[in-house]
């Protein structure tokens, strides 16, 4: 028999997620915007279920986050995942700024990076019965679901110095201590300015097994990163240090496109560059450029970007689960050391 989610006044936490947090197990947060707004049905449902399976197969518990009928949920059932997939764009794309409105109106929200980070960090403070392990983690300053896997994050848009079009993902990373595992940002954005803005926000940016920040569909962006990590354990150590020192900011771990997708990624990147040139020639700027780019790239690639996108998300989920397990093991070791020293 399925157990009901743990409830607080404002969030429902799936039993599987709550149990994992109580024992200090590995948990990986997942967004829901990619399900509702990122791909069509039934591809979105298939991908969501496969991503959750990848997380589980690698030793962690998936926690897909969404707002259902005004109630934020951390961890969804298969029926709830199907509801999101079928509803698609009927679910409001929900960033941090939209949370209060969606909840107050009893609406349905597909959480973006910023909203997913917010709820991931919030979780342990609302679970009903804290274990002694949770109390130890709280003593060490380690609270919240620490790992969040997504496809790519938002950034500073081109001509952002004029339009001030900057994704709330970046400011969320500056104030919420959650490590985001992504394929970097798409090259339709201003990548150098995005990295500069993250530096201003105090966000550690690391690249996995490379010295260059990936640009989603391609490994190459022309921008170097200040930090390189080569194993899940190295990632876990940096995340632990960031949280244990109460730096208060998140982290971005950028993962290059898998080698088997590099060829198709290069084709998509070429289409992006062509579309950018067309937008410049037509003097399309500001808020109009993103919808133009998305539609034009889709036309130029015949929709082939979807499979590459799915591959990226799965690859990020694989690494994210491994990092979550490594972090859980590291936290367990540190907690046991604190407990022994107190005897």
Same domain for 261 and 166, yes or no, is yes
- Rounded to 10°, the helix 132-139/305-342 angle is 90
Last-in-domain residue among 127, 145, 163: 145
Q: How far apart are CA 52 and CA 84, in angstroms?
A: 15
Could you say which of 16, 82, 122, 186 is catalytic? Answer: 186
- For tokens 């940016």, the residue is 205
Q: How far apart are CA 61 and CA 53, in angstroms?
A: 9
Domain count, the chain: 2
Domain holding 245, by residue range, is: 151-343
Same domain for 331 and 220, yes or no, is yes
Same domain for 185 and 95, yes or no, is no
The confidence score (pLDDT) of residue 293 equals: 82
pLDDT in tens, 176-201: 999 999 999 988 899 999 999 999 99
Using only C-alpha atoms, the chain has a radius of gyration, in whole angstroms, of 19
Same domain for 127 and 186, yes or no, is no
Q: How far apart are CA 9 and CA 282, in angstroms?
A: 51
The predicted model scores a pTM of: 0.90
Same domain for 175 and 250, yes or no, is yes
Active site residue 186: yes
Last-in-domain residue among 87, 117, 145: 145
Q: 206: closest CA among 173, 252, 150? A: 252
CATH number, domain of 57, equals 3.40.1790.10
Same domain for 315 and 177, yes or no, is yes
Same domain for 180 and 292, yes or no, is yes
Same domain for 90 and 167, yes or no, is no
Same domain for 220 and 190, yes or no, is yes
Active site residue 82: no
Same domain for 115 and 69, yes or no, is yes
pLDDT in tens, 247-293: 999 999 999 998 888 778 888 889 989 998 998 899 887 667 776 88
Neighbours of 214 (CB within 10 A): 27
- Tell me the HSE value of 210 on the side-chain side, using a 13 A CA sphere: 22
Q: How far apart are CA 156 and CA 17, in angstroms?
A: 33
Could you say which of 16, 31, 52, 172 is catalytic? Answer: 31
Same domain for 68 and 117, yes or no, is yes
Same domain for 166 and 207, yes or no, is yes
pLDDT in tens, 45-57: 999 999 999 999 9
């Amino acid at each position: 028999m399925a157990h009901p989610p743990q409830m607080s006044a404002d969030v429902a936490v799936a039993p599987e997620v709550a149990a994992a947090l109580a024992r200090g197990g590995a948990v990986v947060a997942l967004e829901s915007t990619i399900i509702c707004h990122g791909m069509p049905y039934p591809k979105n449902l298939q991908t969501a279920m496969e991503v959750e399976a990848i997380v589980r197969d690698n030793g962690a518990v998936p926690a897909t986050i969404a707002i259902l009928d005004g109630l934020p949920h951390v961890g969804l059932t298969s029926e709830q995942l199907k509801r999101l997939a079928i509803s698609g764009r009927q679910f409001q794309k929900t960033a941090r700024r939209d949370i209060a409105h969606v909840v107050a109106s009893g609406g349905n929200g597909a959480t973006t990076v910023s909203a997913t980070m917010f709820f991931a960090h919030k979780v342990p403070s609302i679970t009903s019965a804290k274990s002694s392990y949770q109390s130890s983690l709280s003593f060490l300053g380690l609270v919240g679901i620490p790992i969040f896997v997504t496809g790519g994050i938002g950034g500073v848009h081109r001509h952002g110095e004029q339009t001030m079009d900057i994704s709330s993902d970046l400011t969320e990373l500056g104030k919420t201590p959650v490590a985001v595992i992504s394929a970097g940002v798409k090259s339709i954005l201003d990548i150098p300015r995005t990295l500069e803005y993250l530096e201003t926000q105090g966000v550690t940016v690391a690249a996995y097994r490379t010295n260059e920040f990936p640009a989603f569909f391609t490994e190459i962006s022309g921008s170097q990163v200040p930090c390189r990590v080569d194993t899940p354990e190295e990632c876990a150590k940096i995340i632990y240090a960031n949280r244990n020192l109460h730096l208060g900011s998140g982290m971005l771990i950028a993962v290059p496109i898998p080698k088997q997708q590099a060829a198709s990624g290069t084709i998509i990147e070429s289409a992006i560059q062509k579309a950018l040139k067309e937008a410049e020639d037509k003097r399309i700027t500001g808020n109009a450029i993103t919808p133009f780019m998305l539609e034009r790239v889709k036309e130029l690639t015949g929709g082939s970007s979807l499979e590459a996108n799915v591959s990226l998300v799965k690859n990020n989920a694989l690494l994210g689960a491994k990092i979550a397990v490594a972090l859980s093991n590291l936290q367990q070791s540190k907690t046991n050391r604190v407990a022994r020293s107190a005897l």
